[in-house]
Amino acid sequence: MASKALVLVLLFLEQSIPSESAKILTVCLMGGSHYMLLDEISHTFHERGHTVRMLLQMGTPLIKGLNYVGRPNSYQITQWSVSEEYITEYNKWFFEKQKEFLQGRDSLSGYIHFMGQLAHQCDYLLGDSELKESLKQEKFDIALLDAFNPCSFLVAEWLGLPYVAFFPGNLLNVHQIALPSPLSYVPVYRSQLSDHMDFWGRTKNVLMFLCSSIAERHIQAPFHSVIQKHFRTGVQPSLSDLYRKAELWAFNTDFSLEFPQPLMPNTLLVGGLLSKPPEPVPQDFEEFISKFGEAGFVVVTLGSMVSSVPLSELLQEMNAGFALIPQAVIWRYHHSQWPEDLQPAANVKLVEWLPQNDLLGHPSARLLVTHGGQNSLMQAVYHAVPVLGIPLFGDQFDNMVRAEVKGLGLALEATELRREGFAHIMKRLITDKQYKTSALALSVIHRSHPLPPGQRLEMWVEHILQSGGGAHLRTYGLQQPLYQQYLIDVILVLVASLLLLLYTLIKMGRTVNRMIRNTGKLKSS
């Protein structure tokens, strides 16, 4: 028996340890939740036995208080930053944008401006010859990118590395990577549609798809000048080509929350990377929670970017709404930005940071009030906690549509938040058992996957490394122009042929008709 057990252990170790260690570059040029995800991925590959170095852009809002920057005995970090003067101006501008988000003024023009800022930062980065040469000398085997920032692709391309693109959100704009996206049931980004569309929904989806192509050109435009400046003539890539060149695309979602749709072999869903079995919460949290007994508590976090925006009107309404529910409220908000004339409700505990995963895994957790970020929703699914979403910008509106359709929770626009209505929705989500039941069902779907998300990503990246790339996973459609992918040329030829046939039949009919009439005239004469 002992020998059999030893054989099983050796077989397990053989499968769990990579056959060859690789040198991996992870590229993180964003802060907040983007950084948390890339940190988790970098640490996971390090634990797997690979040599990992993260290119980390400083000066963006990083998560504080989590000891996340440089995990002890984990992966290596190469830090880079733009000038202090630029960082000051950028953060000042971004702070004002956050206020607009909370006031319901998210716009395409603002997003285009934001991408222009990322392109400007990219110009600085690619202009740092010393940094680029030091990375090139490392001779990495593969890069793993945050696909949200197009500059990540330019870094990997300049270094001549094969790369895996990791998108930190749901399946958005997948037509850019030739993923089949039938508009009859695959919602377009920002459409706020579900997969069950009526006639007008499908019409809206088609129109938004056509508009998205135009918008995408404006979004990518700032990076074209960066490409022209830093890549030699004749080898200047387009962002569209770089998106399709990825060996693998991984998305931070899965079908517990995502609408079912077609996937290609080079597409991987790894939602829930930050979801873990809970650890005990800190003692001060536990003491506060215990005061409210069976009523439990509510976790409140509107994301790393807007946890310090002093918008008094919204804070007053939220605070007054929390005072109307019997649960404890643990609210992540920077004390320094809290209005001096606003006294937190008796059941509210304001904290600079909170262990979100551990709190959601606590048996007394009753509700998550969130901005609708993908990581928060995936953790809510993992721990089966209903959510009240207050979407502010970007994909958060679409994320909350998915959460509502799946029965995980409800959404409330920031501009419509009033204390009584806010409290009523929270009470409904906590007391109506259908939301908890749906959350439990989604949790079973999410957690019963044969492999956890981190291990899925590891195994597929190692597969690509061992097989010499992901060419065998990429469809030929990636090389086809749009008119071939959507069979526009075939449709035009068939329509033209049909019209020509119809025209010929009409001409023949007229000719025969004339001949019959002429024959009749001859007989009568």
What secondary structure, in 3-state letters, does 267-286 show? EEECCCCCCCCCCCCCHHHH
**pLDDT at residue 224 in the model:** 92
The pLDDT of 463-472, averaged and rounded, is 92
Single residue among 430, 447, 464 that ends a domain in this structure: 447
Residues 40 and 180 in one domain: yes
pLDDT band for position 18 (50/70/90)?
A: low
pLDDT band for position 478 (50/70/90)?
A: confident
* Of 250, 192, 243, nearest in space to 220 by CA: 243
Residues 244 and 291 in one domain: no
* Of 267, 212, 252, nearest in space to 446 by CA: 252
Q: Is 451 exposed, middle or buried (0-12, 13-18, 19+ CB in 10 A)?
A: exposed
Residues 263 and 297 in one domain: no
66 assigned to some structural domain:
yes
Single residue among 408, 431, 447 that ends a domain in this structure: 447
Round to whole Å and give the CA distance between 172 and 155. Answer: 23
Q: DSSP for 185-203? A: TSPPTT----S---HHHHH
Residues 95 and 233 in one domain: yes
**pLDDT at residue 10 in the model:** 41
Q: Are 353 and 65 in contact (CB under 8 A)?
A: yes
Question: For the segment 374-420, what is each residue's pLDDT rounded down to a tens digit?
Answer: 999 999 999 999 999 999 888 899 999 999 999 999 999 888 889 99
40 assigned to some structural domain:
yes
189 residue type, one letter: Y
Q: Characterize the bridge pairing of strands 142-146 and 76-80.
A: unpaired
Round to whole Å and give the CA distance between 83 and 59. Answer: 9
What is the domain count for the chain? 3
342 residue type, one letter: L
The yes-or-no verdict on residue 7 having pLDDT over 60 is: no
**pLDDT at residue 305 in the model:** 57
Residues 114 and 134 in one domain: yes
Domain hosting residue 455, numbered range: 20-273+451-476
Two tokens, residue 351 = 């904290």
Residues 401 and 310 in one domain: yes
**pLDDT at residue 61 in the model:** 55
Q: Are 507 and 207 in contact (CB under 8 A)?
A: no
CA atoms within 13 A on the CB side of 493: 6
**pLDDT at residue 243 in the model:** 92
**pLDDT at residue 455 in the model:** 93
The pLDDT of 102-112, averaged and rounded, is 70
Question: For the segment 322-373, what is each residue's pLDDT rounded down to a tens digit?
Answer: 999 999 999 998 887 788 888 999 999 999 889 999 999 999 999 999 999 9
Q: Are 373 and 164 in contact (CB under 8 A)?
A: no
Two tokens, residue 267 = 């597409």
52 bridge partner residues: 24
Is residue 417 within a helix (H) or strand (E), and if so which, with residue range? Answer: none
The yes-or-no verdict on residue 306 having pLDDT over 70 is: no
524 assigned to some structural domain:
no
The yes-or-no verdict on residue 64 having pLDDT over 70 is: no
Calculate the alpha carbon distances from 11 to 65, 461, 523 in Å.
Answer: 40, 21, 98
**pLDDT at residue 166 in the model:** 96
The pLDDT of 311-316, averaged and rounded, is 82
- The CB density around residue 415, as the number of other CB atoms within 10 Å, is 10
User: Number of helices (H) and strands (E), helices first, in the chain?
Assistant: 18, 13
141 assigned to some structural domain:
yes
441 assigned to some structural domain:
yes
Residues 491 and 398 in one domain: no
Question: For the segment 150-187, what is each residue's pLDDT rounded down to a tens digit?
Answer: 999 999 999 999 999 999 988 877 777 878 888 899 99
The CATH number covering residue 153 comes to 3.40.50.2000
Sign for the pseudo-dihedral over CA of 374, 380, 381, 383? positive
Round to whole Å and give the CA distance between 491 and 118. Answer: 40
Residues 234 and 311 in one domain: no
Round to whole Å and give the CA distance between 204 and 458. Answer: 39
Residues 244 and 293 in one domain: no
418 assigned to some structural domain:
yes
Residues 464 and 391 in one domain: no
The yes-or-no verdict on residue 303 having pLDDT over 90 is: no
**pLDDT at residue 66 in the model:** 43
Residues 261 and 300 in one domain: no
The yes-or-no verdict on residue 91 having pLDDT over 80 is: no
Q: Characterize the bridge pairing of strands 387-389 and 365-370.
A: parallel
Mean pLDDT of the chain: 87
Calculate the alpha carbon distances from 407 to 20, 133, 386, 403 in Å.
Answer: 44, 51, 9, 6
Residues 342 and 416 in one domain: yes
170 assigned to some structural domain:
yes
Specify the higher pLDDT residue, 6 or 317: 317
Round to whole Å and give the CA distance between 180 and 263. Answer: 7
SS (H, E, C) 402-414: HHHHCCCEEECCH
The yes-or-no verdict on residue 67 having pLDDT over 90 is: no
95 assigned to some structural domain:
yes
The pLDDT of 193-209, averaged and rounded, is 92
Question: For the segment 267-290, what is each residue's pLDDT rounded down to a tens digit?
Answer: 999 999 999 999 999 999 999 999
Specify the higher pLDDT residue, 482 or 140: 140
The pLDDT of 222-237, averaged and rounded, is 89
User: With pLDDT > 70 as the criterion, what percentage of the chain qualifies?
Assistant: 90
**pLDDT at residue 506 in the model:** 93
